[in-house]
Chains A and B, each alone.
Chain A
Amino acid sequence: VKVSRREAVKACVATAALQAADLAWPFRSVAAAERDGFRWINKHQNVEATVWRHYDVWNHGAEGAGVGPASWRGGFTALRDILQEAQARGRGVRAVGRRWSLSPVAVCPDIMINTMPLNYHVVGLPASDLSTSRVDPSRLVFAQCGTSVLELSLTLESKGLSLPTSGASNGQTICGAIATGTHGSARRVGAMQDYILGFHLLGDDGRHYWVERASKPVVSEAFCQRLGATLRRDDRLFRAAVVSFGSFGIIHAVLFEAVPLYLLEVHRRRLDWPTVRDAAATLDLDHLRLPYRGVEPFHFEVAVNPYSAKPGQRGAVVTAMYKQPYREFARRRAGDVTMVPGVDLLAVSGRLATVLPAAIPAGVNSMLNAMMHMHALPVLGTHREIFDTTELVGKSLSAELGVDLADAGAAIDTFSAIAADVRRTCDVHERSVGQVSAARMNDDSYQHTITERGTVLLANRCRLREREVGQARHDGVGGPVTDAHVAVEQRERHVALEEQGQVGIGLAASRRHRAQL
């Protein structure tokens, strides 16, 4: 192997720099608890895998070694050591947050890292850490990857600040939410990754970088020197790495600007879907009898019972949240014990629906009723208080599609039509890769199959295509569905099923499609 003189010099410099950094940092890797042959399972218990080695990475040792100022260095060193070990052994690595993904995207058969203990966060940076005056240094937040949205919100609230938005939940870790492209919950604010200003990226060979946009530089060289990181300002690199599903090194920490603390005032109405339909597509809410006529809500959502979508059936629950300046107010104190949905509620409901599909519309209706009775409206609270921690446990599945706002009404009409059809033809197969898959087959039953990724009803996509409704999956893959797209999706699904020995589990129709492919 020929090595140029320049490369040799670079390697020597890099090695020397790493050794110098080791000497400069007081904390060695005292903080990674490893387990081999670990059985990993995601939050919603629909993805399981055996992992060669699993690490819980902490910032400090079990006896408290490393606790204190700048204790993030202990966790960072542990991450770096794991990466170097993996590289030496030729193993892959994936860092994981709260494990909320319903797909196997987080699974790595070699080494998986639980980053949840890495929760060091700092609010406010000295002006010398900045290279711009466009941001308020007192509102800048440096947060380690495992810091949860709940932790950030609690800390920020104590300082009169708030997250600009969240994924309508407090449960995720900040980097898990960002790296997987989690949506926001506020109009005109964007998704969570949209407010990230820069991040600390750990790459191979222990090299680490501070990455931010060239078009929006924020930190100074002094800041990077304190981290020991190389500064990279590059818009394309930033965009590629910020939502990278854990495949672009390990994002150790992020920097964002918090906003002044605010309250959300929640109003909810039960209305007919046809009454709401136009508002859902235009966000012109004047005829919905909401307060603050003419004022744009901070958050607007419509929950629709697809089985009660006709006039007079009051099949829609409209929720509008209005942003208010923060003020102290009397909070209702919950008792020590409250009744919440049980761990097995979803599983039992699924079985009940299988035995008695006619009960599904009433079940959905009771959920909408519960939404109306959950609070004595209007409800007032901070972002954290209004969006809870989503601690629903037990097996569950969700499917999401993004459509253009103007197509929202048509999309929901489409789903309503499909829902009635699916109710007649679908069943729940707990052991199926598809989770929910067609049980009683008919000619187009394959198209009623939810993919194992839990992200899309292929049937919905096809029907939407018929109506010329553009769409995107929750993971951002999207655009108009073409015949080739459908064929590829069917083929991918079949290959995945075949690899996992799942062909034949209630998927007779897929064999027919296989022949067509």
Chain B
Amino acid sequence: MLIVSGACAHFRVAPDSLSAATLEERRRVQAIAWGALEPLVAPANCNGNGMASVMVTMTVTDTVVAVITLGFVRPVTIEWTCAKTQGMGDL
């Protein structure tokens, strides 16, 4: 436990042909009441572009909270980077 206490479960979506345009943005979010209310993250920093990567992180603490509340509260951390604009052109 001592060794893995800092470990989290991470789930990443990252197309291998895309480069990130921005630094990683992170939000803590919770689904409430067994999903009756769920978070919607709408990145405001992508300058009209899509996202280059998304990572969902679930810590040991998040799991404990979900177990203690019998799933009423399901917290996770969502992290994303924005995609670049198509950069090819003429001078």
Interface: B69 (CB within 8 A): no
Q: Which of A57-85 contact B (CB under 8 A)?
A: 58-64, 67-72
The answer to whether B87 touches A147, judged by C-beta atoms less than 8 angstroms apart, is yes
Interface: A155 (CB within 8 A): yes
Interface size classification for chain B: 20 to 34
Residues on B with C-beta less than 8 A from A31 are 47
The answer to whether A121 touches B85, judged by C-beta atoms less than 8 angstroms apart, is no
**Which residue on B lies nearest to A348, using beta carbons?**
B7
A33, A116, A121, A355: most-surrounded residue (chain B CB, <10 A): A116
Interface: B39 (CB within 8 A): no
Residues on B with C-beta less than 8 A from A147 are 87
Interface: A492 (CB within 8 A): no
Chain B's interface: helix, strand, loop or mixed, by majority? loop
The residue from B2, B8, B57 contacting A351, defined by CB atoms under 8 A apart? B2
Q: Count of A-B contacts with CB under 8 A?
A: 106
Pick from A232-240, A339-347, A441-449 the stretch touching chain B: A339-347
Residues on B with C-beta less than 8 A from A129 are 91
The answer to whether A116 touches B48, judged by C-beta atoms less than 8 angstroms apart, is no
Known: A58-B47, A344-B8, A355-B3. A120 touches B19 (CB 8 A): no
The answer to whether B23 touches A151, judged by C-beta atoms less than 8 angstroms apart, is no
The answer to whether B16 touches A348, judged by C-beta atoms less than 8 angstroms apart, is no
Known: A60-B47, A226-B91, A355-B2. A344 touches B22 (CB 8 A): no
Interface: A389 (CB within 8 A): yes
Interface: B21 (CB within 8 A): yes
Known: A56-B47, A116-B20, A116-B22. A151 touches B84 (CB 8 A): yes
Known: A99-B23, A154-B17. A117 touches B84 (CB 8 A): yes
The answer to whether B91 touches A117, judged by C-beta atoms less than 8 angstroms apart, is no
**Which residue on B lies nearest to A334, using beta carbons?**
B16
The answer to whether A351 touches B6, judged by C-beta atoms less than 8 angstroms apart, is yes
Tell me, in angstroms, the Cα distance from A391 to B24 when the chains sit together: 13
The residue from A64, A67, A344 contacting B7, defined by CB atoms under 8 A apart? A344
B residues in contact (CB < 8 Å) with A: 2-4, 6-8, 10, 14, 16-17, 19-23, 45, 47-48, 55, 57, 84-85, 87-91
